[in-house]
Amino acid sequence: MLLSRILDPALTQGRLTLIDPQGHAHRLGPGGGPEVAIRLRDPALPRRLLLHPELATGEAYMDGQLTVEQGSLRDFLALANQCAEGIARMPLQRLLAAVGRPLRWLHQFNPARRAHRNVAHHYDLSDALYDLFLDRDRQYSCAYFPRGDETLEEAQALKKRHIAAKLLLQPGLRVLDIGSGWGGLALDLARHDGVDVTGLTLSAEQLKVARARAESEGLSPRVRFALRDYREETGFYDRIVSVGMFEHVGVSHYTRFFRQLGERLAPDGVALIHAIGRADPPGDTNAWTRKYIFPGGYCPALSEVVAAVERSGLWLTDVEILRLHYAETLRHWFDRFQAQRDRARALYDERFCRMWEFYLAGAEMAFRHGRLMVFQIQLAHQRDAVPLTRDYLYAHGGAAPAEQPLCGQQA
């Protein structure tokens, strides 16, 4: 089978047994673990996997046309990361990539109306779904694991404190939270640091929850949430923070984003952007993820972000790359979702559950074995807006020095 002949050289470790639609087993890879067997149940699937590997793999798993017979979904997707590199080197795939490259701007074109629609696709799902796998504060972004053995609740709390340290907060400062989600970060900053926060979201469901949380905690006078695009904001702020939102901006809008950030930030202000990026050169979003999970989303190369920052005139005062932190976060989310899978099926259906577990496991493998990472960039108008060294980041005691090992890896 052509598919097995192409994939075999791409597997440098592990063993993948591919059972074709006729029941023939094709053993690929040198062995040494993980050991995985998958069954292709549709005669047309091998051809689709060659033509559109990312989209076809996810859709086949969702529809039950690709089943994992031995090993776990995580194991299969770890091997699939290797296979994807082999398929990408095929002349046909190189041609398709070259033809599709000019469309990249269209995939990431996110004017305000389209941005509202894209956000609703993912974030206006049932609240009960997110309660199945997120921490109690509903932090839906990379947690921070300075030791590596923290619980999800601890790591998410440490993430919020690490961000607060980078913002150099003082009581009474005005803070803008772009992409405030369910309000957890904004409420934490108001509660622990005594600041006034305005949170912006494009999700009606998240807005409802965030406002209710502020009201129940008695923080409504100091924490306000609005259903508003960042381009529509007109206020002025001492601090600006954005966590897990920049992935939805789109490359063609980066200049506008940082120009708006600079116009809204006080002359002596500090801003912090926390987002997923890629260690590769500029590229495109995985076709399956773009269609089913995050339409309009894109994880940029740092070179694309820094170029836009340079055009804005802002100072890039600090950059931190978090490598395996999101892999660990996603591991927790996947395990929690699997433990509550019956409840998820009751909310939606089996196909949705297979889509969601493929998303969580696939994202984990992209951070653990692929080229995704998280960056935090600190920005200011003035070069002396932040201290001369990074020592102040660890004064709160929640974050570890950079040389401390992370999850068994040397930092």
Q: Map out the domains of the chain as residue ranges.
A: 2-89, 112-394
pLDDT of residue 94: 59
Q: Beta-carbon neighbour count of residue 203 at 10 Å? A: 21
The confidence score (pLDDT) of residue 265 equals 98
Give mean pLDDT, residues 235-247.
Answer: 97
Question: How many whole angstroms from its chain centre is CA 298?
Answer: 9
Report the CATH number of the 2-89 domain: 3.30.1050
Whether 361 shows a pLDDT value over 80: the answer reads yes
Query: At 85, is the pLDDT very low, low, confident or very high (cuts 50, 70, 90)?
Result: low
Question: What is the arithmetic mean of pLDDT over 124-145?
Answer: 92
The answer to whether the CB of 236 falls within 8 A of the CB of 172 is no
Task: Kindly indicate the confidence band of residue 275, based on its pLDDT and cuts at 50, 70 and 90.
Answer: very high
Confidence band, pLDDT 50/70/90 cuts, at residue 406 = very low
Look-up of token digits 């068994």: 408
Q: Whose structure tokens read 């002596």?
A: 268
- The mean pLDDT of 360-373, rounded to a whole number, is 95
pLDDT bucket at 411, cuts 50 / 70 / 90: very low
Say if residues 118 and 295 touch (Cβ distance below 8 Å). Answer: yes
- For 374, the enclosing helix (H) or strand (E) is strand 372-380
Taking 70 as the threshold, does the pLDDT of residue 63 lie above it? yes
Q: What is the mean pLDDT of the chain?
A: 89
Residue 335 has pLDDT above 80, yes or no: yes
The pLDDT score that the predictor gives to residue 118 is 62
Alpha-helix residue ranges (DSSP H) falling in 181-322 = 184-193, 204-216, 254-264, 287-292, 302-312
- DSSP annotation of 219 reads -
- The architecture (CATH level 2) of 112-394 comes to 3-Layer(aba) Sandwich (3.40)
The number of CA neighbours under 13 Å toward the Cβ of 238 is 13
- The whole-number pLDDT of residue 120 equals 61
- Quick one: which of 144, 155, 264, 169 has its CA closest to 222? 169
Question: Stretch 253-261: mean pLDDT, rounded?
Answer: 96
